[in-house]
A and B are shown apart, each in its own frame.
Chain A
Amino acid sequence: MSVSNLLENWSQFRHYHPVDDKPHDPYKWAMSIDLDACVGCNACSVACYAENNLPVVGKEKYAHGMSMHWMRIEHYWDEDVGEEGGREFPDQGAQFLPMMCQQCEAAPCETVCPVGATNHTADGLNSQIYNRCVGSRYCEANCPYKVRYFNWYDYPTTDNVWPAEMTQQLNPDVTVRGKGVMEKCTFCVQRLSAAKVTAKSEGRIVHDGEVQTACQQVCPVGAISFGNLIDPQSRVHKQWRAQQVELDKDRQAKDEKEGGTNLRGYRILENMRPYPSVMYLERVRESAI
């Protein structure tokens, strides 16, 4: 596909939800993360390093904001802790939130890419084409979640991130990215592709639970569920439905009622209309103590 073809037929390639004539079929990968279960242990983040060949950048580059963790754990204190007139201690604990690419249906990063290196796949992923990327970093600037990571250095060679035998750990299913390329969470697309190929060769679609992302697989508390949102049998589909969160809405049932509901599903920065594919479930805290 040439760039001119891409530009001329942009609307075909830039396929975002909701589009009536081209619905996601048969897959729409989505996730839900239960923040009440999540304990903030970082196991998902380390698993992501292992699966996706993420470079460890070292202290100096980390200080410069060059860390490459596709999956990061954000941690927040309550607003009034330590403030004037507020509480002295965070006595309801901290808030943890695993943050990675939200695989938006109308991704702000996609529209700004000058070379079409990031675009939407038919199964609802926000894909990144490394060998098309020219490193303008517009996408990074436009991402409201700050989950795109740029290769400022040629980590494998000049930076010696994987010295000696460490290269043997690299996952052969995943490219090792070079300098000047943007990267981000892919929902472990290498695992998805393998599962889809297997299913196709057997003339069926991928069952729920047949494919797991690395973060989901490792999570000790099982906070992450991942699957095909279109499949009514999938856990993700059932969770989204139970929480009345709809992919193509920017306001959900939960937001409509004043004073809250018994729903806890929400999507981050929904009002900006990126239509993210990750639903979070609010953390619950006991009122009796």
Chain B
Amino acid sequence: MMDSGFDRRDFLKVMGWSGAAVALSGCGNTSIEDGKETVVSYVEAADYVIPGIGVYYNSSCAQCDAGCSINGRVREGRVLKLEGNPASAINRGKMCGLGQAGVQHHYNPDRLREPLLRNGDKGETITWEKAYALIAEKLKGVSGEEIAFLSGGVSGHLKVLLGNYLASFGCKNHFVYEALAPGVVRAANKKAYGAEMPRYNINKAKVVLSFGADFIGAWVSPVHFSQQYAQFRKGVDGQRGVLIQVEPKMTLTGANADRWIPVRPGTEGILALGIINALGTATGDIAAAVKGYDKARVSKETGVPPGQIDKIAAILKLRSPSLVLAGGAAEGYAHGSQNAAAINLLNHVLGNVGKTVEAAAAVPFPQMVPAKGNTAALKSLNDGLAAGKYKVLFNYAANPVFTAPGALKFKDNLSKAGFKVAFAHYLDETALQADLVLPLNSALEDWGTQVPEYMAEGAQINILQPLMENLHPNTRGMGDILLALLKQRRPEEYKNYEDYYAYLRAAMLQNKVALGGNGKDDDSFWNETLTKGIIKLAGTTTALSGKAGVAGLKLPAPTENDEQYPLQLIPSVNISLRDGRHSNQPWLQESPDPLTTIVWDSWVEIHPKKAAELGIVEGDIVEVTSRTGSIKTQAYLFPGIHPDAISIPLGQGHEALGRYAKGYGVNPFQILDAVFDRETGELAMYETRVKVNKTGQRVIVVKDESAAGAKQIREKIAGRVSSDNVDLSKEV
């Protein structure tokens, strides 16, 4: 990008000068036209600002934790659009809708701009100096055990700084909470393969049998998996890949399957054992363990016809290698670990381990790998809060008041914490409960490093760099805040770092050789790193060590019919809104749900057969009641769901956050029962049972599909052919 001696930071400082002024001249209705701004001449434009020409800078997407690399288009000092960075092995130049909306997070009108201190019901603007002093004061005389830090998944240097900060007062209470991370599957993978997240080679598989893993939509690293999926469809050795999806509620991946199998909720593991039985290739312990799972029994318990089980077994036998995935719909039960173990066992039996399930590379810096955690961590924090254990609570990148299962009563317990500090982008539900709220930079104006949990090829460290000057003068990066707080605790150690940028640069240069900068001088290594936005490393690979074992594998019989609460609630993950942290980005609200085309609202998916039984039609406002609580929303008749289940998408139902989120839809997290996986203690998301009652009100469902529903009338619009007729490998 540049010769040495030129610093990108100076560039941005300069850009701020001309950028801020000329930035406004590009679009139709700005204050410039009203004559309120001074127009700065282009004659003295800053370096690398070419009027009318977009300049591209690499950075990393922070909309989810998949770790895609982005390429931001910057024109006249403002970032306009994000593209994928083709050099990244994870996303290879591609992006998802959620990632695209990153600019709407950055320019969001509801972003926090000033530090706020609680004064009764109101937040009073204070200075950063005062805020830091206040934190120091509140921490005085408080022991490490009385402090808790709750965060979402953090990685890279931010995690290192956070660890150092907590260590500075001997605090071990770092709770990592990601509401939708695959906690149970990670634990089951660790047992089965010796790695929490092995590399899944979808592109090398001839058959993918997925038990509720929505790898195209919202699971782990969807953009990466989508690309692998496209290769898989083109075929290995000329044979088009076959996707079979087993799940009680159709996900986006299910909608793209060759065969979607609506299994009775919770019996995924039984079906997996039934398939092993039908394969008839297992020996020893495994054969003994699956002996009882004959077709008749499995079919009766899972609701999958015997002929279908035969067909699955036949195609798996015929086409190898295959790949079996355990995802959200399999892990969300009290016996979720057992389900996942049974499914992973299938991979062993089919001989896929080492072929389509491979060891992933890890970065050689263990302190930078992502901190992981789910609801089990939140529960233990919740217990501590309920017992009044914590005098100071920090919260970063998590919104537990919104995402905690209702049965935990997290909001009530939160009030028992002495002093609550929230680092936040928006005044979300959790920030509203805090005593001190500190406004953060957006990911597009912040420095940082990121280590993705799911590594594609080799290992990589992603670089985040500002794509423009701070939009609001008084927001700070989380790294800068932690550094300032650390300077309070250990001034000697950190006094040399003026800011997080200086820390980051020094930390990276210290490890220059390990980061592939051998023989380069500091400046050129650093500039090259920023230009590329990614540091690719060979990484360390530990061979998969797990064995096919059936010890401890025990699947319970399907649950008996519950008279009072006859239906199973499936809280589904919408591909754009996920756990709800991005619901205030209007593009995502107006991006129709792929399967129902509903926008700006929540809905209850009910199978038409069940709906007819209950006398429900589309648009009926129904009350969904669980043991924990009840919510009311519109009904949508959806054939892609098991008749004994209903589904409500997560992410809506905000009471705060901002103008595009507040008041739209309902929040199913609120009615989730506190049922946990027996082995890992993670939330069993699918174990809440509900009943559905009509309220008598009816609305018109706001959706993109026509009133006729999703049917092609007369003329075929979307065509489909059988695989017998085409050979994709010969196509252009």
- Interface residues in B, total, Cβ within 8 A: 104
Q: Among A93, A222, A269, A289, which residue has its beta carbon within 8 angstroms of that of B242? A: A289
B48 to chain A, nearest CB (A): 17
A220 and B587 within 8 A (CB): no
Q: Among B52, B76, B255, B600, which residue has its beta carbon within 8 angstroms of that of A93? A: B255
Chain B: CB-nearest residue to A225:
B732
| A-chain residues with CB within 8 Å of residue B28 when the two chains form the complex | 156, 170, 175-176
Task: Report whether over half of chain A's contact residues are helix, strand or loop; otherwise say mixed.
Answer: loop
Q: Count the A-B residue pairs with Cβ separation under 8 angstroms: how many?
A: 289
Q: Among B100, B229, B659, B704, which residue has its beta carbon within 8 angstroms of that of A39? A: B229
Q: Would you list which residues of chain A between 230 and 289 have a CB under 8 Å from chain B?
A: 235, 238-239, 242, 260-262, 264, 266, 268-269, 280, 282-289
Chain A: CB-nearest residue to B30:
A167
A218 and B600 within 8 A (CB): no
Question: Chain A 44-60 against B: per-residue CB contact (8 Å), 1 yes, 0 no?
Answer: 01110111000011110
Q: Among B24, B226, B723, which residue has its beta carbon within 8 angstroms of that of A220? A: B226
Question: Chain B 75-94 against A: per-residue CB contact (8 Å), 1 yes, 0 no?
Answer: 11011111110000001011
Cα distance A171–B27 when bound, in Å?
A: 7
Say yes or no: is A142 at the interface (Cβ < 8 Å to chain B). Answer: no
| B-chain residues with CB within 8 Å of residue A164 when the two chains form the complex | 107, 109
Knowing A41-B97, A90-B640, A170-B26, the reply to whether A285 touches B262 (Cβ < 8 A) is: no
Say yes or no: is B361 at the interface (Cβ < 8 Å to chain A). Answer: no
Knowing A36-B728, A77-B711, the reply to whether A82 touches B94 (Cβ < 8 A) is: no
A289 and B258 within 8 A (CB): yes
Say yes or no: is B720 at the interface (Cβ < 8 Å to chain A). Answer: yes
B29 and A156 within 8 A (CB): yes
Say yes or no: is B722 at the interface (Cβ < 8 Å to chain A). Answer: yes
| A-chain residues with CB within 8 Å of residue B722 when the two chains form the complex | 284-287
Chain A: CB-nearest residue to B261:
A91
Say yes or no: is A223 at the interface (Cβ < 8 Å to chain B). Answer: yes
Question: Chain B 451-462 against A: per-residue CB contact (8 Å), 1 yes, 0 no?
Answer: 000000000000
| A-chain residues with CB within 8 Å of residue B532 when the two chains form the complex | none
B315 and A39 within 8 A (CB): no
Q: Among B24, B259, B609, which residue has its beta carbon within 8 angstroms of that of A91? A: B259
A98 to chain B, nearest CB (A): 10
Say yes or no: is B219 at the interface (Cβ < 8 Å to chain A). Answer: no
A92 and B27 within 8 A (CB): no
Say yes or no: is A100 at the interface (Cβ < 8 Å to chain B). Answer: no
Q: Among B80, B104, B227, B240, which residue has its beta carbon within 8 angstroms of that of A171? A: B80
| A-chain residues with CB within 8 Å of residue B704 when the two chains form the complex | 67, 69, 72
A220 and B639 within 8 A (CB): no
Q: Among A42, A58, A88, A95, which residue has its beta carbon within 8 angstroms of that of B718? A: A95
| B-chain residues with CB within 8 Å of residue A63 when the two chains form the complex | 700, 702
Stretch from B133-141, B591-599, B690-698 forming part of the interface with A = B591-599
A288 and B315 within 8 A (CB): yes
B97 and A46 within 8 A (CB): yes
| B-chain residues with CB within 8 Å of residue A152 when the two chains form the complex | none
Q: Among A92, A218, A284, which residue has its beta carbon within 8 angstroms of that of B100? A: A218
Cα distance A288–B608 when bound, in Å?
A: 28
Q: Among A43, A57, A264, which residue has its beta carbon within 8 angstroms of that of B95? A: A43
A3 to chain B, nearest CB (A): 26
| A-chain residues with CB within 8 Å of residue B589 when the two chains form the complex | 56
Q: Which residues of B contact A (CB under 8 A)?
A: 23-24, 26-30, 52, 75-76, 78-84, 91, 93-97, 100-101, 103-104, 106-109, 216-217, 222-223, 226-227, 229-230, 233, 240, 242, 244, 250, 252-262, 311-312, 314-315, 471, 575-576, 586-592, 594-595, 597, 599-601, 608-609, 639-640, 659, 664, 700, 702, 704-705, 709-712, 715, 717-728, 731-732
Beyond A67-B590, A264-B721: 19 further Cβ-contacts under 8 Å? Answer: A41-B96, A41-B575, A42-B576, A43-B97, A47-B100, A76-B717, A92-B720, A93-B256, A93-B257, A157-B29, A167-B30, A170-B26, A170-B80, A220-B226, A220-B230, A239-B731, A284-B726, A286-B722, A286-B723
9 closest Cβ pairs, A-B complex: A172-B26, A46-B97, A282-B719, A220-B226, A59-B600, A286-B258, A221-B230, A95-B718, A164-B109
Q: Which residues of A contact B (CB under 8 A)?
A: 35-37, 39-43, 45-47, 49-51, 56-59, 62-63, 67, 69, 72-77, 79, 81-82, 88-97, 156-157, 163-172, 175-176, 214, 217-223, 235, 238-239, 242, 260-262, 264, 266, 268-269, 280, 282-289
Can you give 15 A-B contacts (C-beta < 8 A)? Answer: A41-B96, A59-B600, A62-B702, A63-B700, A76-B711, A163-B109, A163-B659, A169-B80, A170-B28, A176-B29, A217-B83, A218-B100, A242-B731, A242-B732, A286-B259
